[in-house]
């Protein structure tokens, strides 16, 4: 009923030729539905610790493609707001996005980005290139700059399998800043408050010819190190059986590792840590 006044507007909009961007379609016809609309009045900044924030997420390239992983914790200041948050999501068949930052806005941005890619493919009849997908997400982040300046920042991490790239370089990773700056990362990257510790572990353990199992264990080790030094990052919760989300993208598309596999790898890693609390040595 609340949208009845817009019925005529929507009908006209649906039958009017436009471009292939769903975000621009919303901006033209229902801008208040965009997650980038400022939730706070001008000059007002969100009080610290009042909104759930999510960390930490990472990506790394491996032999068959690219892997993304994220811990499950969301915090509000010194409080744990959620223990089982999902921060890694498929964007389309060969692309996935993970996020750190303000949870509510990040989830909405991910959903809008998924629709954005689907809308483009339906209108144009082809998928975007991976580089174009990264630039489109950068544009959406830039539109969120006003919210970021009010303390409600979202920093995604994008990874994909580039079917058009030369063999051996098809797993690609893109990082962003809160102003929409776009940076392609070689080999691995991490975002969120635990990212310095995760990147340190990845730098120590990464090698280019990892199998899926090796890549997953490396990601879990990096998240464990992040949780060890960053209170906002959650490690594997063996009692509640809450484990990090690990997903891979290969020529066959996006796949989230089954929880049984993630649990088995997490328990193996924790058991190894009993004898070596600081984790494995760097690869020779």
Please report the DSSP string for 195-207 in residue order: HHHHHHHHHHH--
Tokens 């993630």 label which residue? 262
Cβ pair 242, 83 in contact under 8 A: yes
Task: Establish whether 55 is a catalytic residue.
Answer: yes
DSSP 71: -
| Candidate list 23, 55, 56, 250, residue with the active-site label | 55
> Angle CA(44)–CA(101)–CA(73) in degrees, nearest 5?
125
In angstroms, rounded to a whole number, what is the distance separating the alpha carbons of residues 227 and 94? 29
DSSP 239: T
Cβ pair 215, 283 in contact under 8 A: no
Q: Which residues are catalytic?
A: 55
């Amino acid at each position: 009923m609340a949208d009845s006044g817009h019925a005529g507007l929507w009908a006209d909009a649906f039958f009017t030729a436009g471009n292939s961007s769903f975000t621009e379609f919303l901006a033209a016809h229902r801008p208040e539905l965009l997650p980038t609309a400022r939730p706070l009045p001008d000059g007002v900044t969100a009080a610290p610790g009042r909104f759930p924030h999510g960390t930490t997420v990472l990506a790394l390239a491996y032999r068959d493609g690219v892997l993304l992983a994220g811990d499950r914790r969301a915090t509000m200041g010194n409080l744990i707001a959620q223990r089982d948050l999902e921060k890694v999501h498929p964007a389309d068949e060969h692309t996935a996005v993970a996020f750190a930052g303000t949870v509510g806005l990040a989830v909405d941005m991910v959903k809008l980005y998924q629709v954005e890619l689907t809308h483009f493919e339906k209108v144009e009849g082809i998928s975007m290139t991976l580089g174009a997908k990264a630039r489109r997400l950068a544009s959406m982040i830039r539109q969120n700059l006003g919210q970021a300046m009010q303390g409600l920042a979202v920093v995604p991490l994008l990874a994909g399998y580039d079917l058009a790239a030369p063999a051996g370089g098809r797993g690609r990773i893109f990082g962003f800043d809160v102003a929409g700056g776009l940076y392609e990362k070689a080999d691995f990257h991490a975002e969120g408050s635990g990212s310095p510790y995760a990147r340190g572990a990845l730098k120590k353990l990464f090698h280019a010819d990892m199998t899926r199992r090796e890549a997953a264990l490396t990601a879990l080790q990096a998240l464990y190190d992040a949780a060890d030094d960053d209170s906002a990052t959650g490690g594997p919760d063996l009692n509640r059986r809450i484990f990090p989300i690990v997903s891979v993208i290969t020529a066959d598309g996006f796949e989230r590792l089954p929880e049984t596999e993630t649990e088995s790898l997490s328990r193996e890693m924790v058991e190894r840590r009993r004898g070596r609390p600081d984790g494995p040595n760097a690869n020779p």
